[in-house]
Structure 1
Amino acid sequence: MSDSSKDEQTSTCQDGTLDFWAQKWQQNKIGFHRTVVSHLFEKYMIPKLTATKEQLCVLFTLCGKTLDMVAVLEAGHRVIGIEGCQSGVEAFFQENNIKYEIEKDETNKCQTYKGIECPLTIYVTDFFTFNKSIPPIDYIWDRGGLVAINPSTREQ
């Protein structure tokens, strides 16, 4: 991706919050990222995912490069993520050796990263303006995205 497309993705947030987080990713100041699967995810979600043979779909809001998504894929399920910072999404695919393709969606102002060999889709977009139809979701997981949102915009 060119630097100009990265700039497009980080300028969509009106209050600068998306720009703030994009800068954190660019500077690798991501102390919020965990290098293991969340213990709460293991406690509450893994049992639900392993209790069924039916393929489920888990939505990760403000997903970054969480390894919780890898746990879902390893359990044989589908992952959909929404993330405002392109560099976090690219790091996720690279660090987990997942081949992907990118589609640009001008109508919805997002880029779609799709796993080529696994059921994984991550939308790089402003969470508050994302307005794209997505497949049915069985579970939504948010480990820390809400606290990352400026309190004045949380009602949105």
Structure 2
Amino acid sequence: MSRDGFTTCLWFDGQAEEAAEFYVSVFRNSGIKEVTRYPEGGMAPAGTVMTVEFTANGHEFVALNGGPQFTFNEAISLQVFCDDQDEIDHYWARLVEGGGEPGPCGWLKDRFGVSWQVIPERLSALLSDPDPRKATRTTQAMLSMGKLDIAALEKAHAGD
């Protein structure tokens, strides 16, 4: 794994390998790089998965089986920018499958408790339109949605 830039470390309680395999199955340009195991005398039984280094959508991650001391919350989320509604639908469905929870405004939690924002690439431009009426209509439409609907956001932006 390259040590240039940033690597995101995700703390799990025994699910690191399952989570890494799941994320690799959801995103293109992904793969498991290395699995390390706890040695004798470690924080977990010898041979238990300690870390999984993986790439998801070209981004470097480490999944760590650190124990139950820490859990995920919405203070940190991963953003998935989508080109079209088919991508939004795909990522939304895959990330909530198996026990995930849909949330408001394009947010969701996957079955491991990791928060994601599945959003159209174009959303920022719609929300920051110099015409405050367009931006406000888009914001109000977004606030009424769970999974984001690009056509409905664009319709609100246009005032239809």
What TM-score do the two structures reach when normalised by structure 2? Answer: 0.29
Which structure has the bigger radius of gyration? 2
What TM-score do the two structures reach when normalised by structure 1? Answer: 0.29
Q: Which has the higher contact order (CA 8 A, sep 6+)?
A: 1
